[in-house]
């Protein structure tokens, strides 16, 4: 049932007095099967809602709104009906190698094409039947994010542990033949889908450009909890360098052939290889940032933008300690030094939090837990450079969206009480960090490649047929 779990502030739902616990029964007199039906019905400019209030009352609400204006609610069940879960047994599955006591929501292996359209989740399509592919086309559910991993049918069946996995190119071909835009990803596993197999995958998918619009290559994530799971080696420095070079060669060919880089290496490859991330032009329109593609470049460009606009620091002198993950160390080290030199009355320190919760091989900042912070603070709190810090700052990527909860269910308050230091949570952007340090607002950063340059690129890429 379409029960509301959260009403967003200043939303249309709040304006018409919808509350958590209310349920929408029909829209314009029509019932609905799932979130896609409801999403389409709610897009009209005029809607009549039949609502069952949590008190049991039935309300009928007439609403005038802009076309496609969202209601501004979250649902108790994100798909309204039963969530499609994953039927695969992927050799690299991260959920299968997580420690106990994690948030329960992170142990759900969803593989639901509806969440791909609505929220950008990546799906494998192994549980999607022909009539559901037709529904994607009928409703024009575009774009869809697809976990391809390899276009070799036998290898994909092996890697995903699913006999239907070999149909992926036929499925993507059907979607793109009907003008559905597709974003794709490969989780790179050494000795499985790298090198020659990666060339095959890139070559197969680029032939469907521009409807297959992007391809991200991300390194396999390995934790200490892989008992009874297939043996997979971590990405070595040598393989990271080789993969970057391989992708760069394809990017040059793609730009020459159809005006877009198309395929991108995740930031973590550059960290492992000890190389600088590419310039912004090599990320096209930055459409896979949530997959770890181009985040470091965006951060650096934004930081450089604000360096020319820093106001005079007029607050009390203080010492600030930034906590980060291993993969961001080089960038945070440089930023800390620049800010300390620039501000004079503020000393910006940084410290890398090793991941004891998942294991030392996990280096991304977003997987640092409250437990990791507490354990590391115990080892460094007596050091001269850290014992007198006034504030600790962490990026919000360590926490659940809109909540102060780490992956291990500890809260900010739990950690503050344990380490006896205040913790400031900032957006994972230079603007967020600078506003916390200066205690004032900064103008928004609007990179040109999201505006004029992107529009020029879009116009250019649309001139090309599939290669």
- We find that the CATH architecture of domain 4-75 is Roll (2.30)
Domain regions of the chain by residue span: 4-75, 95-293, 310-438
- pLDDT score of 454: 41
The sign of the dihedral angle between the CA atoms of 197, 198, 201, 204 is: negative
φ and ψ of 321, to 5 deg: -115, 120
- pLDDT score of 305: 92
Residue pLDDT, tens place only, 187-228: 999 999 999 999 999 999 999 999 999 999 999 999 999 988
- pLDDT score of 448: 67
* Other beta carbons less than 10 A from residue 43's beta carbon: 15
3-state SS string over 120-135? CCEECCCCCCHHHHHH
**Helix-then-strand count for the chain, H and E:** 16, 14
User: In a 10 Å sphere around its CB, with 0-12 CB exposed, 13-18 middle and 19+ buried, how is residue 71 labelled?
Assistant: buried
SS3 of residue 157 by DSSP: helix
Residuewise pLDDT in 10s, the chain (467 residues): 699 999 999 999 999 999 999 999 999 999 999 999 999 999 999 999 999 999 999 999 999 999 989 999 999 988 999 999 999 999 999 999 988 777 777 778 899 999 999 999 999 999 999 999 999 999 999 999 999 999 999 999 999 999 999 999 999 999 999 999 999 999 999 999 999 999 999 999 999 999 999 999 999 999 999 988 999 999 999 999 999 999 999 999 999 999 999 999 999 999 999 999 999 999 999 999 999 999 999 999 999 999 888 888 777 889 999 999 999 999 999 999 999 888 888 899 999 999 999 999 999 999 999 999 999 999 999 998 898 899 999 999 999 888 899 999 999 999 999 999 999 999 999 999 999 998 888 888 887 665 544 444 443 333 333 32
Cα–Cα dist 259/463, whole Å: 9
- pLDDT score of 128: 97
Q: For residue 143, is the peptide bond before it cis, meaning its omega torsion is within 30 degrees of 0? A: yes
Fold classification of 310-438 (topology level): Rossmann fold (3.40.50)
Percentage helix, strand, coil for the chain under 3-state DSSP, each rounded to 5: 40, 15, 45
- pLDDT score of 464: 34
CATH class of the domain comprising 95-293: alpha beta
Equal CATH topology for 95-293 and 310-438: no
pTM over cut 0.85: yes
Buried b (16+ CB within 10 A) or exposed e, 57-67: eeeeeebebee
Token couple for 151 = 């276009």
């Amino acid at each position: 049932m379409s029960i509301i779990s959260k009403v967003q502030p200043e939303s249309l739902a709040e304006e018409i007095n919808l509350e958590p616990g209310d349920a929408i029964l029909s829209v314009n007199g029509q019932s609905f099967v799932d979130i896609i039906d409801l999403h389409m019905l709610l897009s009209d400019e005029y809607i009549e809602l039949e609502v069952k209030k949590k008190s049991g009352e039935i309300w009928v609400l007439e609403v005038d709104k802009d076309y496609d204006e969202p209601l501004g609610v979250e649902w108790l069940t994100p798909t309204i009906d039963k969530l499609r879960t994953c039927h695969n047994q992927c050799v690299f599955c991260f959920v299968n190698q997580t420690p106990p006591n994690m948030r329960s929501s992170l142990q759900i292996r969803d593989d639901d094409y509806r969440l791909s359209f609505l929220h950008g989740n990546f799906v494998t399509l192994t549980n999607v039947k022909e009539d559901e592919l037709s529904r994607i086309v009928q409703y024009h559910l575009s774009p869809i994010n697809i976990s391809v991993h390899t276009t070799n049918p036998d290898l994909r069946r092996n890697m995903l542990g699913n006999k239907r996995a070999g149909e992926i190119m036929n499925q993507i071909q059907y979607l793109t033949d009907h003008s559905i835009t597709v974003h794709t990803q490969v989780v790179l596993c050494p000795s499985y889908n790298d090198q020659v197999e990666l060339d095959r995958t890139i070559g197969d998918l680029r032939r469907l450009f521009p409807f297959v619009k992007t391809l991200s290559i991300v390194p396999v994530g390995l934790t200490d909890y892989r008992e009874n799971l297939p043996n997979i080696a971590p990405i070595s420095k040598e393989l990271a360098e080789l993969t970057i070079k391989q992708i760069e060669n394809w990017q040059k060919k793609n730009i020459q052939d159809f005006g877009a880089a198309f395929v991108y290496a995740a930031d973590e490859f550059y960290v492992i290889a000890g190389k600088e991330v590419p310039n912004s032009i090599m990320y096209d329109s930055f459409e896979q940032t949530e997959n770890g593609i181009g985040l470091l470049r965006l951060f650096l460009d934004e930081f450089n933008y604000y360096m020319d606009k820093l106001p005079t620091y007029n607050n009390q002198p203080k010492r600030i300690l930034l906590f980060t993950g291993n993969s961001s160390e080089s960038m945070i080290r440089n930023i800390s030094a620049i800010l300390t030199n620039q501000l004079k009355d503020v000393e910006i320190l940084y410290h890398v939090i090793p991941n004891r919760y998942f294991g030392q091989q996990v280096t991304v900042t977003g997987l640092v837990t409250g437990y990791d912070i507490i354990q590391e603070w115990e080892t460094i709190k007596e050091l001269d450079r850290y014992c007198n810090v006034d504030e600790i700052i962490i990026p919000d990527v360590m926490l659940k969206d809109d909540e102060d909860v780490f992956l291990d269910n500890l809260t900010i308050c739990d950690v503050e009480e344990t380490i006896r230091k205040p913790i400031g949570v900032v957006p994972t952007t230079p603007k967020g960090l600078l506003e916390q340090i200066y205690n004032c607002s900064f103008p928004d950063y609007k990179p040109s490649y999201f505006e004029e340059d992107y529009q020029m690129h879009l116009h250019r890429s649309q001139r090309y047929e599939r290669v």
